[in-house]
């Protein structure tokens, strides 16, 4: 195990972070109601909001560092403005990041907490840097900015670990195999009206639902955090299902996300009753 993995392992095992992290998660459920939660998650755009916003403060602050190194009055003035712009752009970035990490638990929650603290520390350091610059204490302002860049780098490393090694924020259905041919998943008489049922095909759980004479089928694994949709609440009138874990709502007809925090739609299947069997295949297009 290399030194980076040793550090990461220490953070993942830091159980003392659980209590404060859970309090933050509870606060998020109150502070991010309804539309605010969807906006923080990125549901209206069909893409997680936090990763899109992180490029702004990182790029802006990197630009300010380059201008500080170049020197000269014009470069210094531009660097000062970029430091402030980075601080302002960091606010919505942190806001969306807190929302994204609030649903994590266990190791992911611990790493997410340290990642968030690193980003907040970087923002505070850059804020102090801007104030020092405004007071004419340029050398101190530059030193604070360099410290901020260090905190930002560490936080970014943890963010990459969360996404690429721990799978946080990844569509949980993306690697599920498609069913190219009609495939029997259950006996027709086993599917009761208005009662969600789950069938497994090649290791992929599929939610099957009958409403009157209509049949619907979507992936049972919630794209947001792999919650079991068949255990959630089904609205028979609107033909929707709500994830029991984080309350994402999906259309049973199309798999479309109707309410976040999910951003990716559910894989949807064609479904039919044939020779006493319920058969499904992946929709194309």
pLDDT band for 285, please (50, 70, 90 cuts).
Answer: low
- Helix boundaries (H) for the chain: 3-12, 18-31, 34-41, 49-70, 73-101, 106-134, 138-160
Give me the pLDDT at residue 112, please.
Answer: 95
Domain range for 17: 3-165
Q: Are residues 24 and 161 in the same domain?
A: yes
- Examine residue 130 and state whether it is found in any structural domain, yes or no: yes
Same domain (yes/no): 190, 265 = yes
Tokens standing for 276? Answer: 């006493």
- 9 and 128, same domain (yes or no): yes
| Same-domain status, 213 and 104 | no
Size of the chain, expressed as the number of residues it contains: 285
Mean pLDDT of 193-203: 93
Average pLDDT taken over every residue of the chain: 94
The answer to whether position 171 is within a domain reads no
Residues 77 and 121 in one domain: yes
Residue of 120 and 71 predicted with greater confidence: 120
Contact between residue 172 and residue 119 where contact means Cβ atoms under 8 Å apart: no
pLDDT exceeding 70 applies to what percent of the chain? Answer: 99
CA 204 to CA 187: how far, in whole Å?
18
| 134 and 24 fall within a common domain | yes
Does a structural domain hold residue 223? yes
Which of 138, 165, 192 corresponds to the end of one domain? 165
Q: Which of 139, 165, 191 is the last residue of a domain?
A: 165
Report yes or no on 174 lying in a domain: no
- Final residue of a structural domain among 165, 200, 235: 165
Is 176 inside a domain boundary? no
Contacts for 90-93: CB closer than 8 Å, 24+ residues apart: 90/56, 90/57, 90/119, 90/122, 90/123, 90/126, 91/123, 92/53, 93/50, 93/53, 93/54, 93/56, 93/57, 93/119
* 197 in the same domain as 161: no
Q: Are residues 198 and 132 in the same domain?
A: no
Q: Is 97 within a domain?
A: yes
Whole-number Å distance between alpha carbons of 124 and 120? 6
Q: Are residues 158 and 218 in the same domain?
A: no
What does pTM read for this prediction? Answer: 0.88
Lowest pLDDT segment from 26-40, 111-125, 144-158: 26-40
Q: Is 262 helix (H, G, I), strand (E, B) or coil?
A: coil
Percent of the chain topping pLDDT 90: 86
In a domain? residue 112: yes
From 93, 83, 157, select the one nearest 120 (Cα to Cα). 93
Same structural domain, 22 and 146: yes
For 12-39, what is the mean pLDDT? 89
pLDDT in tens, 94-103: 999 999 988 8
* In-domain check, residue 160: yes
Q: How many domains is the chain built from?
A: 2
CATH number at residue 262: 2.102.10.10
| 232 and 107 in a common domain | no
Dihedral (CA of 57, 62, 68, 70) sign: negative
Give mean pLDDT, residues 110-116.
Answer: 96
152 and 222 within one domain = no
């Amino acid at each position: 195990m290399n030194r980076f993995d040793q550090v990461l392992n220490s953070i993942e095992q830091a159980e003392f972070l659980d209590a404060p992290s859970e309090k933050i998660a509870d606060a998020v459920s109150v502070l991010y109601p309804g539309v605010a939660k969807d906006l923080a998650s990125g549901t209206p755009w069909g893409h997680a909001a936090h990763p899109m916003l992180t490029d702004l403060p990182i790029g802006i602050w990197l630009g300010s560092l380059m201008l500080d190194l170049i020197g000269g009055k014009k470069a210094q003035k531009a660097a000062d403005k970029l430091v402030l712009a980075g601080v302002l752009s960091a606010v919505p970035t942190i806001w969306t990041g807190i929302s994204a990490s609030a649903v994590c638990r266990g190791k992911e929650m611990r790493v997410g907490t340290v990642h968030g603290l690193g980003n907040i520390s970087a923002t505070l350091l850059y804020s102090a840097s801007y104030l020092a610059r405004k007071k004419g204490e340029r050398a101190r302002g530059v030193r604070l900015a360099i410290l901020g860049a260090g905190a930002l780098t560490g936080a970014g490393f943890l963010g990459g670990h969360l996404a690429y090694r721990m799978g946080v924020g990844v569509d949980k259905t993306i690697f599920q195999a498609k069913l190219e041919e009609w495939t029997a998943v259950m006996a027709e008489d086993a599917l009761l009206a208005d009662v969600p049922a789950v069938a497994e095909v090649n290791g992929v759980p599929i939610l099957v639902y009958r409403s009157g004479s209509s049949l619907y089928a979507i992936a049972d694994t919630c794209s947001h955090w792999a919650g079991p949709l068949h255990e959630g609440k089904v609205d028979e009138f609107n033909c929707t299902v709500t994830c029991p874990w984080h309350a994402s709502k999906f259309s049973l007809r199309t798999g479309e996300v109707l309410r976040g925090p999910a951003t990716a739609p559910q894989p949807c299947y064609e479904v039919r009753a044939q020779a006493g069997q319920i058969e499904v295949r992946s929709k194309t297009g």
